[in-house]
Structure 1
């Protein structure tokens, strides 16, 4: 797309840029490829650099509550300093390696309500930086993530929403400064003991940490509380287990708990054992994300209703220098 703000940032008659993705669909750990097409303006110009950045919306907790902020979480240099002559057309191929912890935005072709992702092209001349419009990117789950999401749907859990929470999860080796929460309403067979479940994936090249937070119902004499679980599953086990049975085991273990965190009880079939909790987020004050309400189409997630697209990016993090980051579009 051609940056509408390029003239304002780099001067009238400056260069224009059109970033083209080979395929906007990708997965965590896989490359995103394409080319940055530059067209020189009315004068020769020396560009300081061309850089691509992955941009998303994150919920940040402040004293007055949560608010959505938008910012860049991964940068890839495309070109260093070079001269672009007047009227010159130049195409620069690129490859952006998606971080393994990149949040999932789409499942079975449907956008998760509350999720958005874009690739932003930054073109810089000395003392002038243009951060232009965003090319939308769809991040699909890894096979092991897809099996687990499908298992929740098979068991009757209903998708509630998804968002990104700023902070870190206790006991998890996390490289990004945020984590994704995918929220489900309880399935009928567990509704007597659990209201909702929040699911977080933290992936690396060999395994995925599955972090669960259960909002438990209280009884006549006992108040409700949260239960937590953490399990490590190898990518190779995606097709090596009945994941509905595995997830059912996780949920029933939470129902049997009498404490606020999981005691170590070993693993389940087809996966590595583990335990832990989804609380004590560093820099997050132990806050539980409220998630984004609404539903999204997709039978595999046990979801009803029509597709609700993710929100458009409107604001930027403070370190973006006040730039509004642009909008997703086709122009």
Structure 2
């Protein structure tokens, strides 16, 4: 067992911690399990608390530019209130629920370039230390996967994914950021739209799907953005469901692209947008004439195949800059430094 960090606040000879997550990706709203392994230092210490923090690498728009920072989006105390003897080894198992809006980091086993982590904090003798940071892999919920598969069947291809600081107005969004999955249009839509962005806002009762299309301009008209929100239930993606997802999503996109009248404007700086919840398979949308909601995030994560997103089509390579960024995130934050913002 390699313990990744001694408690820096207590100097050499303090306790060491190593958190090991259960193997395999987790799902939004599902359990995150694992074990926290402790090893005592040169003397006895009282472990006041063991806290797990879920952290994300998030982008924020500032006028014409962007910055990146670390956001803590959930915390769980999983142990504490005991004495750890000198040299003693102890294991604390845990199982905690993930927020429903936890971003998706992979699709069909391919990474999307989104960086999430689980950071372990120990409280010892009135001090606390962020001692261990482990990458967190999250796969889509069945309804999320069904929507993405339908988009792939319609010819859309993956471009990139990122996390944006801010909120989408008119929704029940709970986290201080949202995920954007950017797609290139299929042939049947290429004459109408430059790109499509998908945001999932999941909850216990179902899934809100926010679609934003960067429309192409006509001969006498400039291009502009259109945004709509649609809702589906988790049960719609079950084995007993009879939803024709390709037809459903195709209808969403056609309705989105047919909408011409502007009903509201988003706040691009803060990432806020007007909109309203729909019911089951419900929808609401509006056009945005003031530009695109956000630019590219962490670079192109995956070179998608010609078939788009569906049936193993995400195959490709993770771009070098994404690999570097993921490595920098976990190496840098493993030292306990908080770069950027804390929620």
Fold match (TM-score > 0.5): yes
Residues 12 and 61 of structure 1: is their aligned pair in 2 closer, same or farther, counting only changes over 3 Å? same
8 Å Cα contact 2:226/2:288 also seen in 1: no
Q: Tell me the SS of whatever aligns to 2:14.
A: coil
8 Å Cα contact 2:231/2:282 also seen in 1: yes
Match of 1:247 among 246, 249, 253: 249
Report what 1:196 is aligned to: 195
1:17-56, aligned counterparts within 5 Å?
A: 17-56=17-56
1:11-69 CA deviation, whole Å, 9 max, x = no partner? 21111112111224100011011111111111011122110111111111224621111
Give the CA deviation at 1:76.
0.6
Report what 2:282 is aligned to: 273
Residues 287 and 184 of structure 1: is their aligned pair in 2 closer, same or farther, counting only changes over 3 Å? closer
Deviates more, 1:288-297 or 1:46-55: 288-297
Gaps of 5+ in 1: 327-331
8 Å Cα contact 2:50/2:122 also seen in 1: yes
Deviates more, 1:178-187 or 1:6-15: 6-15
8 Å Cα contact 2:110/2:314 also seen in 1: no
1:96-107, aligned counterparts within 5 Å?
A: 96-107=96-107
Deviates more, 1:62-71 or 1:223-232: 62-71
Total equivalences in the alignment: 312
Report what 1:147 is aligned to: 146
Give the CA deviation at 1:5.
3.8
Distance 1:323 1:286 in 2: 38
Residues 48 and 294 of structure 1: is their aligned pair in 2 closer, same or farther, counting only changes over 3 Å? same
Q: Tell me the SS of whatever aligns to 2:285.
A: coil
8 Å Cα contact 2:110/2:315 also seen in 1: no
Report what 1:132 is aligned to: 131
RMSD: 2.8
Report what 2:93 is aligned to: 93
Residues 130 and 277 of structure 1: is their aligned pair in 2 closer, same or farther, counting only changes over 3 Å? farther
Distance 2:3 2:68 in 1: 25
Give the CA deviation at 1:303.
4.3
Report what 1:329 is aligned to: none
Residues 48 and 314 of structure 1: is their aligned pair in 2 closer, same or farther, counting only changes over 3 Å? farther
Residues 261 and 153 of structure 1: is their aligned pair in 2 closer, same or farther, counting only changes over 3 Å? farther
8 Å Cα contact 1:209/1:232 also seen in 2: yes
Match of 1:307 among 318, 325, 328: 318
Q: Tell me the SS of whatever aligns to 1:47.
A: strand
TM-score by length of 2: 0.83
Deviates more, 1:244-253 or 1:156-165: 244-253
TM-score by length of 1: 0.85
1:201-258 CA deviation, whole Å, 9 max, x = no partner? 0000111000011100101111111111101100011143111111111111122222
1:182-210 CA deviation, whole Å, 9 max, x = no partner? 00011111111100011000000111000
Distance 2:166 2:67 in 1: 14
8 Å Cα contact 2:161/2:301 also seen in 1: no
Report what 2:260 is aligned to: 258
